[in-house]
Structure 1
Amino acid sequence: MQPPANVSDSVPIETAHEDMIHDAQLDYYGKRLATCSSDRTVKVFDVVEGDSSKLSAGQTLKGHTGPVWQIAWGHPKFGQILASCSYDGKVLIWKEQPQGWTKVREHALHTASVNSISWAPHELGPMLACASSDGKISVLTFKDDGQWAADIFNGHAIGCNAVSWAPAVQPGSLITPQQSQQPIPGQSPAQSTPSVKRFATAGCDNLVRIWAFREDSQSWIEEDVLEGHADWVRDVAWAPNIGLPRSYIATASQDKTVLIWTKDTPTSPWVKTALDPSSALTSPVPGAPTPAASPAGKFPDVVWRVSWSLAGNLLAVSCGDGKVTLWKENLKGVWECVSDMNS
């Protein structure tokens, strides 16, 4: 393997937050940046065209009474919509109106910190999943009558840290039509394939749980449980599906490991593979002491976040030592570190 390239063209951006920033997300087109902080605010900036290192003055959204952990942009087909979750136990949904950003929904059914939020694939309509320290998961759904409906159910006994939606189509549905499904006249087999409502959650019980919506009972059921971590699972990310006949889920844990879970067919079991940071030739930090070698399969510190590229073939891993590494599966099915960046 070639030594990974060091990503050196990162540029710091001033946001004027008064405390630690917990999340930053670009919108669908990469033209707006939203940030959230322990100062209890969300800020929305326009990215200056031609210079991504410059931001407009931005607008500050106030409504939370505690640190804001995460933000999530809705799909632009539903307008300019942004959701935020906080230690105050609330989820706020903001929408840009002619007069500026306005709070259009306050979701306050949780009794503890809401740690993670995730919008469903746009094919499913405006749906937002929320994960809370009270151990419950809630799903907000925008109805035809203009109201938001909320489903809430028990997820992880001692708290839920993260949530991530599965793609709206079954793996392989774009290249292999489902034999049991009769095509709809005027549509291709891929278009007539029913959408799938499914997401994964990561918990303080060291487990990842997969939930699916049952149309017959109109309820969410636990479809699978993934066991493999030895401590809290801090993050979970379901890879986008570009039509290939396989599902990928990445999980990050307090136990300093990252696991890649794969599933070849709807009936096959999930198979886990651990990333091996000891095999990566990471770039040294100038002036920093050489870090002690970590055990095989373990990162130097707690792994906090994992995130897939839009194509689902590149995984970013954010570690507590301030380093972000990029991983890719080679033709032999082995995951390799292809790049790294120091914060």
Structure 2
Amino acid sequence: MQHDAVLDYYGRKLATCSSDKTVKIFEVENDTHRLTDTLKGHEGAVWCVAWAHPKYGSILASASYDGKVLIWRSQSTNSAPSSWQKIYDFALHTASVNLVAWAPHEVGCLLACASSDGSVSVLEFKDNSWDHVIFPAHGIGVNAVSWAPVVGQPQGSRRFVTGGSDCAVNIWEWSPETRSYNKATTLPGHTDWVRDVAWSPSVLPKAYIASASQDKTVRIWTSPSAGGEWSSTTLNFDAVAWRVSWSLNGNVLAVSTGENKVFIYKERLKGGWVLVKTIEE
């Protein structure tokens, strides 16, 4: 079973991962794709893959049921095709790593990892070496993590949101003084596992976070400023809400649910959210 498929920044490479413990790399050209590499190294199903910004090279992260996060890099020359090498093996989590997400490239080469062991780790590549911070985030498992955009944030700030099996949505901020991530706020309201979270990449003055839950709701959280209070709008569905994804301009939200449907919502000019399209898979 395939679990994730992600195009790189330029849309020329496609990475997929599946229950067969592998990551596959495809070259994409027009309407065709060609398998070029199969990456082996995980010992369990691979749930998630994520491309780093090309500023840091052709780098891919993968997260697995085996509790590991692997970092891969493509080496290529003009005379030889690309070849992939595992450059980092992070194995401090004690349960499945469910999702990994790269930070905006402006704040550094940072990767956040959400694990069923209840902790979040943040890996950082700096000065030719990898460092990490790991901390407890949700009591009975972390299912998702999403970074805040740089636009509208204080310079150098690092913030992300997590969703957990404890029904909570937590926002975390980096403290340079203590060199740790501290919980800034908890957004309450869900009554079952939070399956996914997504911080809008909006360049608008407002900040938006969407959270999808086993309780068959999606909450859209809105803050008028970087440090303002959060208010929420609730969207109700007939099945579990699995994933949420924002458009690049940050005011259109896609929601996928357990009934094999995708719902597209758009913000009204006068406030509130309206369903503009339903796609049946």
> What is the TM-score with the length of structure 2 in the denominator?
0.95
The one-letter code of the counterpart of 2:214 is: Q
- Pick the aligned partner of 1:265 from 213, 225, 228: 225
After TM superposition, give the deviation of residue 265 of structure 1 in Å.
2.3
1:116 and 2:99 correspond: yes
1:22 and 2:3 correspond: yes
Helix, strand or coil at the partner of 2:106: helix
CA contact (8 A) 2:219 2:233 kept: yes
Please say which structure displays the higher CA radius of gyration.
1
The one-letter code of the counterpart of 1:73 is: W
Aligned equivalents of 2:202 and 2:179: distance in 1? 25
- 1:70-102 per-residue CA deviation (whole Å, 9 max, x = no partner) reads 110100111111100000000001110135011
Helix, strand or coil at the partner of 1:268: coil
Helix, strand or coil at the partner of 2:29: coil
Equivalent residue for 2:214? Answer: 254
Helix, strand or coil at the partner of 1:123: helix
Helix, strand or coil at the partner of 1:96: strand
CA contact (8 A) 1:247 1:263 kept: yes
Helix, strand or coil at the partner of 2:269: coil
- Pick the aligned partner of 1:81 from 52, 55, 59: 59
After TM superposition, give the deviation of residue 226 of structure 1 in Å.
0.6
The one-letter code of the counterpart of 1:48 is: E
The one-letter code of the counterpart of 2:89 is: E
- Pick the aligned partner of 1:63 from 38, 41, 45: 41
1:160 and 2:142 correspond: yes
Equivalent residue for 2:15? Answer: 34
Structure 2 regions of 5+ residues with no counterpart? 77-81
The one-letter code of the counterpart of 2:5 is: A
After TM superposition, give the deviation of residue 308 of structure 1 in Å.
0.8
After TM superposition, give the deviation of residue 207 of structure 1 in Å.
0.2
- Pick the aligned partner of 2:132 from 141, 150, 168: 150
After TM superposition, give the deviation of residue 266 of structure 1 in Å.
3.5
Q: Out of 82-91 and 258-267, give the one that drifted further.
A: 258-267
Aligned equivalents of 1:106 and 1:80: distance in 2? 17
- 1:251-292 per-residue CA deviation (whole Å, 9 max, x = no partner) reads 0000010000000123431101012xxxxxxxxxxxxxxxxx
Aligned equivalents of 2:227 and 2:280: distance in 1? 41
Helix, strand or coil at the partner of 1:56: strand
Helix, strand or coil at the partner of 2:33: coil
CA contact (8 A) 2:233 2:272 kept: no
The one-letter code of the counterpart of 1:93 is: I
Equivalent residue for 2:79? Answer: none
Pick 1 or 2: higher relative contact order, CA cutoff 8 A, min separation 6.
1
- Pick the aligned partner of 1:95 from 73, 79, 92: 73
Aligned equivalents of 1:194 and 1:66: distance in 2? 39
Aligned equivalents of 2:261 and 2:15: distance in 1? 22
Aligned equivalents of 2:210 and 2:275: distance in 1? 15
1:214 and 2:175 correspond: yes
CA contact (8 A) 1:326 1:340 kept: yes
> What is the TM-score with the length of structure 1 in the denominator?
0.78
CA contact (8 A) 1:169 1:195 kept: no
- Pick the aligned partner of 1:335 from 267, 273, 281: 273
Aligned equivalents of 1:108 and 1:225: distance in 2? 28
Equivalent residue for 1:315? Answer: 253
1:269-284 equivalences in 2 (<5 Å): 269-275=229-235
- 1:227-247 per-residue CA deviation (whole Å, 9 max, x = no partner) reads 0101000000000031x2210
Identity over the aligned pairs, expressed in percent? 57
1:224 and 2:174 correspond: no
Q: Which has the higher strand share?
A: 2
The one-letter code of the counterpart of 1:303 is: A
Equivalent residue for 1:5? Answer: none
After TM superposition, give the deviation of residue 42 of structure 1 in Å.
0.7
The one-letter code of the counterpart of 1:41 is: T
After TM superposition, give the deviation of residue 32 of structure 1 in Å.
1.4
Helix, strand or coil at the partner of 1:312: coil
1:197 and 2:158 correspond: yes
The one-letter code of the counterpart of 1:270 is: W
CA contact (8 A) 1:170 1:196 kept: no
After TM superposition, give the deviation of residue 329 of structure 1 in Å.
0.5
Aligned equivalents of 1:240 and 1:196: distance in 2? 15
CA contact (8 A) 2:152 2:225 kept: no
Aligned equivalents of 1:331 and 1:169: distance in 2? 21
